[in-house]
Structure 1
Amino acid sequence: MAENPLPSGDLKKLDKELKNISRFEDAVQEISRGNLKFGICILFLVMVGFFAFTQVADASNQVFIVLAGLLGAYMALNIGANDVANNIGPAVGSKALTMTGALIIAAVFEAAGAIIAGGDVVSTVRKGIVNPAAMESDVMFIHAMMSALFAAALWVNLATFIGAPVSTTHSVVGGVMGAGIAATGLGAVNWATMGKIAASWVISPVMGGIIAAAFLALIKFQILFKEDKVTAAKKWVPVLVGFMAGAFAMYLTMKGLKKLWKPSGEVVMLIGLVFFVSTWVIVKPVVAKAAEKIENRRRAVSDLFTIPLIFSAALLSFAHGANDVANAVGPLAAVVGVASGADMTGNVGLPMWILVVGALGIAAGLLLFGPKLVRTVGEKITKLDRARAYCVALSAAITVIIASALGLPVSSTHIAVGGVFGVGFFREFLNNKKKRERLEKVLPEAGEPGVDKGRGEALERLTKKQEKSRRRKLVRRQHLTTIVAAWLITVPLSALLAAILYWMMSTLM
């Protein structure tokens, strides 16, 4: 038998060294990938800056337009890295889509939504936050918009770094407010609008969470908790898919296609009803056929929601691209318009090149940096199967429809993340309730006939101890704390950054 040429101590040292080398190589590869991503972003910004330079003949204003183009592109990259995760996170977390497939679908539909339905007119000041007439000159207005855009982009970048999905709309609103205050004082701010936006911090996640939890309760009590889950699924899944189709048809009509068509409320409701009925008719035999091949298990039934989840990821991305591209290019369009001679108190046209910059930036940011937030939304907050992910996606569409009908400003980011939390907390409630009921059946209550006082007290202590130990937390509190804190400081921090940047820009330029 051959002898080991090395003593066991040396073998352990060698093994440790090899592991250290392996970890070092992994770190080097990670740094290399990060440098490559950073290089691609720099190349994209350089191309946007060069293209913006060629769009204006007036040399005196070219510097403003180039800088605004760079800031708009930077903001678009950050929107893609942070905000789009809410649309595809549930589908990825539930394994309905792979990360690569979800990124490709979202990038294509985000860009399509931005270019096709991104809006042909953008108000020079987002959401009417400040009164541009209060600004003394065009240069002051340009400085304010550029400061607002840069501040919002910096905050979204920081939020992405710490893994917190935040509202880019609120970031831009805070930036415009801070720059407006720095430029003209508190009197320029529309505080009524700011009050509505502050209310949406609470309204959006709570409404999204309640709606998602309500649909999960429906699925659990009408399908998953039934003895014959397959038969229940044949009845209810077509109804739920039809409801999703109707809701998304209304959602896209009201939000995603508002540039192309603005129908009345009655027409929107009729569209939703038509899509609900037609989808139910089409899906019912398909589900019945699929149900013949599945086992009578929760996971098998949950898999019936796979295709609706894929469509929801695409449709949410299209609507998001159509709406939130303005967060990147709205202030950019304002700067370009005013620098080109437009009235800063009116509306400015939105050139196609600006929409393309926004669309490409969102897609690039998603593909390069999006996976981190996708995993946070889809996997780290709570565990999602396809039925739960369906509830989150559906709540996003329904909440926007209800809020739009009531005239309430809501954040799509807050809605989607609120839906994930709602599903997680509802699961937590059901799980702990079930364990308490099971424990009560096993352990007699204190004071029960035939149980002496000492034994009864011991059993009571044991009951409380076991109940506490069995209480599972299915929502990670660490992410809850981080995300809520990020939401609360988004507007004030963006405002502070914008005010500082405005003072710096005014002093230097």
Structure 2
Amino acid sequence: MAPALPQYWWILAITTVAFCLSAFGNGANDVANAFATLVAARSLTMAQAGIVSVIAEFFGAVVLGSRVTDTIKNGIIGLDRFRSNPAALLVAMGSAEIASATWLLTATKLGFPVSTTHTIVGALVGAGIGEQSSITWEWKEGSVSQIAASWVISPLMAVSAILFATLKYALLIETPGAPSLEDLGAGVACGIMFGTFFGVLALSHVFFRPYFHRVVILADPRIRPWHLPLGPLLWRENPPLYFPGKETMLVDHYQSAHDKTSTDGNQPSVVDQNTSSTGTGMVASETRTPKQVPEEGNAPGDLEGQSAAANLRPMKRQPEPEERFLGPTDHLPLYHPRRMGSYVVYFLLQGVTRDCVTHSSAHLGAVHSKAPQYDNRIEHLWTYAQVTSAVMMSIAHGSNDVANAVGPWVAVYETYTTGEVGEDNDTPVWILAIAGLLLGLGFWFMGHHIVRALGNKITQLSPTRSYAMELGAAITILLASRLGLPVSTTQTLTGAVVGVSLMNLDLGATNWRQLAFIFLGWVLTLPCVATIAGLLTAMSLNSPRFD
């Protein structure tokens, strides 16, 4: 079928390039929200988070993504002026896509975690003004006034502080000798496990309990997640382990991220695992971490007598990718195969091999030192739930926010093909697949900028804290959507981070400078992206024509 407006093929081509950049920037900025706290808490490395994000975003976009996309996001601008001149819609949507891509990539590079929804809405507002179309300013769903209100509503609604307070006072600082499930009695235990929970708890008892006992209590360095199917065999003194590991999975989540010997974090160093850190690179004068017990032996039979806290695996700080990949071949000519190969490896891996945890700021080190440190064994138990919640958020992002990048392109494509302006347009599955892949690749190559901004730069993070942040943000978004309140995933998660940080009961445990920097990015989003889109639209529609 021939397109109805073939003379405007160049607008479709430019919009397609802008769409790819917009989806890439969307992934670099918004996808990082789901994984920033995960990486900062040392639950996953950047490379692991990158692999998970590519899979989760692609799955969410293709399998759960909407097959119908609104032509005009939330009815921000009217369509009446475009019905008699469909070509003007091509220009407006193309300009909005270009403006969105430009701002998302710029904000990501600067470390501004911004809302992609607000970005595309701001671009549409600017395009509407440039085309002299009507703009929805009054208070209604998706209006500009609601977006401005969400700067305050989203962070304040985050319920993460309540969640972390529950974890803190019920689990983390629980007094020794608290009754366990076995001490509650058969009647209470049966009541708890009754119904749908019975099967889940049975599986946990058979498989997960011996696994975690060996990982957390015995600190057996040989155990890995693929040993879960062994179940009861893990209770043996010498279980039949296939592909055993060489070091414990227990990570020191509170290992100092402050490196005062390097200003750029390029020099690799390892913090002594037998010292307690205050977060400033100095040895603590008071013990807030579990007491360490000398090892009694390395044989499996001696594992019961070892302290898991004394066998924490320190996180080694790797060199930055420039030094790691390009440094070894710097002396070779540019045309040398090894040096050319090092540039290829650097290009592919530089985004997921950067150190997003280490910092050289004395101020940030002081902020971290005011956050209490809890037992790393308990923290490790929450890494599994934390990873699961992050994956769910990533899938949800791929299914919902993919429309922010796809919407304008679909409007241009449908108008170019049919010559008519429609309220809703069918979204081809193949474009959802491309968008989903670009979302994941955006995080892979540029997500480290936002991971640094939303991670340890605000407060000291750990698995329990990060889990409360992610779950609290998810609950807030669901509740707000049900109530019709304007919220942003980025802003809600930022509010969740602040809420959990305040549970340290010390205002000094929050980096207010970084929060001010992030808030500045929120405020700049609408005017900046609207200006870009408006100028592009106005110049395109009013430029001289040579027919």
TM-score, normalisation: structure 1: 0.68
More moved, 292-301 vs 403-412: 292-301
Structure 2 match to 1:118: 65
Residues 145 and 179 of structure 1 are in contact (CA less than 8 Å); yes or no, is this contact kept in structure 2? yes
Give the equivalent residue in structure 2 for 1:205: 155
Name 1:133's counterpart in structure 2.
80
Equivalent-residue separation in structure 1 for 2:452 and 2:51 (angstroms): 16
SS at match of 1:184: coil
What's the CA shift string for 1:321-375, capped at 9, x where partnerless? 1111111111100111111115324211111232123112212211111122122
Determine the structure 2 residue equivalent to 1:172: 120
Aligned residue for 1:424?
501
Structure 1 residue 314 corresponds to structure 2 residue 391: yes
Q: Name the CA distance, whole Å, in 2 between partners of 1:311 and 1:81.
A: 20
Offset of residue 56 of structure 1 = 5.5
Q: Cα distance, 1:114 vs. partner?
A: 0.8
Which residue, out of 140, 144, 165, partners 1:217?
165
Structure with a larger share of its residues in helix: 1
Residue 357 of structure 1 is aligned with which of 434, 437, 455? 434
Of 290-299 and 363-372, more deviation after overlay is shown by 290-299
CA deviation profile, 1:392-441 (whole Å, cap 9, x unmatched): 110122012101211123111111122112212222x2xx4xxxxxxxxx
Partner of 2:314: none
Residues 8-157 of structure 1 aligned to structure 2 (within 5 Å): 59-135=6-82, 136-157=84-105
The amino acid that maps onto 1:325 is V
Instruction: Give the counterpart letter for 1:69 in structure 2.
Output: T
Mapped partners of 1:405, 1:363: distance in 2: 28
Q: Equivalent residue for 1:301? A: 378
- Determine if the alignment matches structure 1 residue 505 to structure 2 residue 540: yes
CA 1:488/1:187 → structure 2, altered by over 3 Å: closer, same or farther? closer
Shift of residue 187 of structure 1?
5.2
| Structure 1 counterpart of 2:23, one-letter code | A
Describe the shift of the 1:361–1:234 C-alpha distance in structure 2 as closer, same or farther (beyond 3 A): farther
Does residue 158 (structure 1) correspond to residue 193 (structure 2)? The answer is no
| Number of aligned residues | 376
Structure 1 gaps of 5+ residues are 1-53, 236-273, 433-471
* TM-superposed deviation, 1:162: 1.3
Q: Cα distance, 1:502 vs. partner?
A: 1.0
Q: CA deviation at 1:302?
A: 1.7
Mapped pair 1:490 → 2:525? yes
Aligned residues of 1:382 and 1:475 also touching (Cα < 8 A)? yes
Amino acid paired to 1:215:
L
Structure 1 residue runs of 4 or more that deviate by more than 4 Å after TM superposition: 54-58, 185-191, 229-235, 274-289
Q: Mark the CA change 1:60 to 1:410 in structure 2 (over 3 Å): closer, same or farther.
A: same
Secondary structure, aligned partner of 1:150:
helix
Cα contact 1:111–1:359 (8 A) shared by 2: yes
Question: Which residue of 2 is the match for residue 51 of structure 1?
Answer: none
Distance verdict in 2 for CA 1:475–1:182, change over 3 Å: same
Cα gap change, 1:286 to 1:299, in 2 (>3 Å): farther
Counterpart Cα distance in 2 of 1:153 and 1:498: 11
Q: In the alignment, residue 479 of structure 1 is paired with which amino acid?
A: Q
Say which of 141, 144, 166 aligns to 1:194: 144
CA-to-partner distance for each residue in 1:193-247, whole Å, 9 max, x for gaps? Answer: 2222222221212212xx1111111111111122228867999xxxxxxxxxxxx
Identity %: 33
**What's the CA shift for 1:299?**
2.1
Residue 333 of structure 2 corresponds to which residue in structure 1? none
In the other structure, the counterpart of 1:244 is none
Paired with 2:25 and 2:2, the residues of 1 have a C-alpha distance of: 24
Greater shift, 55-64 or 347-356, is seen at 55-64
Provide closer, same or farther for how the CA distance between residues 219 and 328 of structure 1 changes in structure 2, counting only shifts above 3 A.
same
SS at the partner of 1:473?
A: helix
Q: After alignment, is 352-361 or 275-284 more displaced?
A: 275-284
Return the letter of the residue paired with 1:503: A
Partner of 2:449: 372
Could you tell me which amino acid in structure 1 is paired with residue 153 of structure 2?
Answer: I
Among 464, 481, 484, which residue is 1:387 paired with? 464
Q: Report if aligned partners of 1:234, 1:291 keep a CA contact under 8 Å in 2.
A: no
| Aligned amino acid, residue 415 of structure 1 | T
Task: Work out the CA distance in 2 between the residues paired with 1:200 and 1:411.
Answer: 7
1:200 aligned partner, one-letter code:
S
Q: Distance in 1 between matches of 2:209 and 2:380?
A: 14
Shift of 1:318: 0.8
CA distance in 1, matches of 2:76, 2:198: 42
- Displacement of 1:185 after TM fit? 4.5
Kept in 2: contact 1:148–1:498 (CA 8 A): yes
Give yes or no for contact 2:32–2:451 (8 Å, CA) kept in 1: yes
> Residue in 1 aligned with 2:289?
none
Tell whether the 8 Å contact from 2:125 to 2:135 is kept in structure 1 after alignment. no
CA distance 1:480–1:316, change in 2 (3 Å): same
Structure 1, residues 81-122: CA drift from partner, whole Å, max 9, x if none? Answer: 111111111111111111110110011110111111111110
CA gap 1:107/1:392 in 2 versus in 1, 3 angstroms: same
Unaligned stretches of 5+ in structure 2? 184-194, 218-307, 310-373
User: What one-letter code is carried by the residue in structure 1 that aligns with 2:75?
Assistant: G
- Residue 141 of structure 1, CA deviation: 1.4
Compared CA separation, residues 334 and 277, structure 1 to 2 (3 A)? farther
The one-letter amino acid paired with 1:183 is E
